[in-house]
Chains A and B, each alone.
Chain A
Amino acid sequence: MSDCYATQGHDSLNQYILHLADNPLVLGQRLCELCTHAPILEEETALMNTSLDLFGQARNWLDYAVARNPQLGDCDALAMGRDERHFLNLLLCEQGNGNFADTMARQYLFDVWHRLTLQALCLSQDSQIAAIAAKSIKEVDYHEQRSRNWVIRLGDGTQQSHDYMQSAINELWSYSDELFVQGDDELQLVAQGIAANQSSIEVQWRATVSQTMAEATLTLPTDCFQKFGGKQGEHSEPFGLMLAEMQSLYRAHPGAVW
């Protein structure tokens, strides 16, 4: 099936909505890969809860993108029918699950950004964006509380868990600057009071994360090579494989009703 979602129907606002949708969609997919692999059964239900929340949020954003441009079809056509070059999620969200420290570090770094961004979007001039953000934020508050506790627990747990968590943070730090990069189109939306202003979010994010790292006895990497591209649809190689799996059944039966 050809990917017809590249060019049609995406004004800059829709691109932004897809970015907001793809973050939880892609992270939710990574989390559901962990099903039956959790370190303890209690954590199995918790990871699945987070994944469920994120898929629900992704669906709300995608539905809005479709409502603005009905020729896009429906939320499944967008989630299952787009090629990797047309996904606009942050690189952080697509990183592999690794060990439990990698999973929780990724979750925490994203959760803080996600919460701050949604908080800003609650005040968006676009009332639908504000409504979806307000609905999502309670869930994300809880995600952050949980992932923060795990970062601290593992950071200040045993020597082994400390080392795992420190190396997880070191690895993932390469994707931190991308959280705050905004192109001209997005900056225009910021100026209109529609999109979140990432420069003020960056200040809060760095302060919050630093405080947690200190509590977790972890150190923040300095002078870390930074990677960009997710928001322009330039992703990692494993991301394509993740999508291939996610989209395989949908694409094998074009037009089928499930």
Chain B
Amino acid sequence: MYAQMVETGVKQVKDRADMDAQEAAFMQQIDAEDKIEPQSWMPDAYRKTLVRQISQHAHSEIIGMQPEGNWLTRAPTLKRKLQLAAKIQDECGHGLYLYSAAETLGTSRAQMLDDLHTGKAKYSSIFNYPTLSWADIGAVGWLVDGAAIVNQVMLQRTSYGPYARAMVRICKEESFHQRQGYELLLTMMQQGTQAQKDMVQDSINRLWWPSLMMFGPTDDESPNSAQSMAWKIKRKGNDEIRQQFIDQTIPQLEVLGCTVPDPDLKWNEETGHYDYGTIDWAEFFAVIKGNGPCNKQRLARKVQAHENGAWVREAAIAYADKQANIKSQQSNTNKVA
């Protein structure tokens, strides 16, 4: 999931009896599955939660370009280079769709980026792990995008209209990402040398647990999930979509002929789901706090690009102003004539 542990600012889910007429009407609209639109009245906490979640989601798309971009210059064939470039470009596009949705809530992209650059806003923990081999490009597509898609399919029904519509567009585009990642790994497993096969297994070993962490900790540890569910920003619990992801991924793993680094993973006939081992939440919280393998370098790269680009953005504005002046002078002259 690209948005983890989004703060709602509430201590507990607000009781309906405590709501004034306006908020009660808002909740009715939510219950009736009427989308909330930019101009609609909404509780302040709902607005803030959305900005936090959507911007975190957007930041994840943008920072997520870095681990993939790490292999773009080294892609082994032109076909793979084209695929990867198109995919990275899509991630950037998805970040932009999401910033665009968040801006309808009255927060500018400049503000959101500033929050990212100063460390106030977060992005998904997964992008603080390095891509150490070409197989990681396949594993990121298959596992990371796969986990994201489970989440994003759910978010197509989120209660805020612009966010839901951005998700529909993103889901439509993203379906190719997971397939290309998987196909890349499958090619290496089925037609590759031993070195290539080892590369794939090593990649899954490193990325499996961080992928499961993407869904965030079990829901009942904070009121945030419950509040997000009540507002229908979020439609399913973290463990529920994590389980859904595992159940759909393991059969794909078997087709690859690989394993996951979890001795406790086994099919449970009774529940109809896979059982899995305990996730190392200490690692997750360390990464969230800034102590993952790549946190500092990811943020530094993003800040550097932004700062290096300041003169370009400024020049474009200066040029646009000059042109606008010339235009208005011309139209004044025309009036006089």
Residue of A nearest to B63 (CB): A36
Contact of A48 with B74 at beta-carbon distance under 8 Å, contacts A36-B66, A39-B313 already known? no
How many residues of A are counted as interface, with CB atoms below 8 angstroms from the partner's CB atoms?
A: 47
Minimum CB–CB distance for A233 against chain B, Å: 21
Residue of A nearest to B323 (CB): A156
- Set of chain A residues within 8 Å of B309, measured between Cβ atoms: 38-40, 43, 100
Q: B196 to A253, Cβ gap below 8 A? A: yes
Instruction: Choose, from B11-19, B89-97, B146-154, B170-178, the stretch at the interface.
Output: B89-97
- Set of chain B residues within 8 Å of A153, measured between Cβ atoms: 315-316, 319
**Residue-wise interface mask of A (161-181) relative to B, using a CB-CB cutoff of 8 A (1 in contact, 0 not):** 100100000000000000000
Bound: A52/B92 CA distance, A: 14
Q: A160 to B65, Cβ gap below 8 A? A: no
Residue of A nearest to B322 (CB): A156
Contact of A32 with B85 at beta-carbon distance under 8 Å, contacts A42-B96, A258-B77 already known? yes
Bound: A108/B312 CA distance, A: 16
Whether, in the assembled complex, A154 has its beta carbon less than 8 Å from a beta carbon of chain B, the answer is yes
Q: Return the contact of B92 from the options A45, A75, A152, A158 (Cβ within 8 A).
A: A45
Whether, in the assembled complex, A239 has its beta carbon less than 8 Å from a beta carbon of chain B, the answer is no
- Set of chain B residues within 8 Å of A256, measured between Cβ atoms: 76, 192-193, 195-196
Q: B315 to A154, Cβ gap below 8 A? A: yes
Which residues of chain A from 128 to 172 have a CB within 8 Å of any chain B CB? 152-154, 156-158, 160-161, 164
Q: A157 to B73, Cβ gap below 8 A? A: no
Contact of A35 with B88 at beta-carbon distance under 8 Å, contacts A156-B322, A246-B73, A257-B187 already known? yes
Q: B188 to A152, Cβ gap below 8 A? A: no
Q: B311 to A250, Cβ gap below 8 A? A: no
**Residue-wise interface mask of A (219-257) relative to B, using a CB-CB cutoff of 8 A (1 in contact, 0 not):** 000000000000000000000000001101110010011
Q: B311 to A158, Cβ gap below 8 A? A: yes
- How many chain B residues sit at the interface, stated as a range, is 35 or more
Bound: A40/B99 CA distance, A: 13
- Set of chain B residues within 8 Å of A246, measured between Cβ atoms: 73-74
Q: Return the contact of B73 from the options A29, A160, A164 (Cβ within 8 A).
A: A29
Q: B305 to A39, Cβ gap below 8 A? A: yes
Whether, in the assembled complex, A202 has its beta carbon less than 8 Å from a beta carbon of chain B, the answer is no
- Set of chain A residues within 8 Å of B35, measured between Cβ atoms: none
- Set of chain B residues within 8 Å of A186, measured between Cβ atoms: none
Bound: A36/B61 CA distance, A: 11
- Set of chain B residues within 8 Å of A257, measured between Cβ atoms: 187, 191-192
Whether, in the assembled complex, A41 has its beta carbon less than 8 Å from a beta carbon of chain B, the answer is yes
Bound: A250/B308 CA distance, A: 33
Q: A36 to B82, Cβ gap below 8 A? A: no
Q: B305 to A38, Cβ gap below 8 A? A: yes
Q: A76 to B92, Cβ gap below 8 A? A: no
- Set of chain A residues within 8 Å of B187, measured between Cβ atoms: 257-258
Contact of A245 with B78 at beta-carbon distance under 8 Å, contacts A45-B96, A99-B308, A158-B315 already known? no
20 other A-B residue contacts (CB within 8 Å) besides A48-B88, A55-B85:
A29-B73, A32-B81, A36-B66, A36-B69, A41-B96, A41-B99, A44-B92, A52-B89, A56-B82, A59-B78, A100-B309, A153-B319, A157-B318, A158-B311, A161-B315, A161-B318, A253-B195, A256-B76, A257-B187, A258-B80
Q: Which residues of A contact B (CB under 8 A)?
A: 29, 32-33, 35-45, 48-49, 51-52, 55-56, 58-59, 62, 75-76, 79-80, 99-100, 152-154, 156-158, 160-161, 164, 245-246, 248-250, 253, 256-258
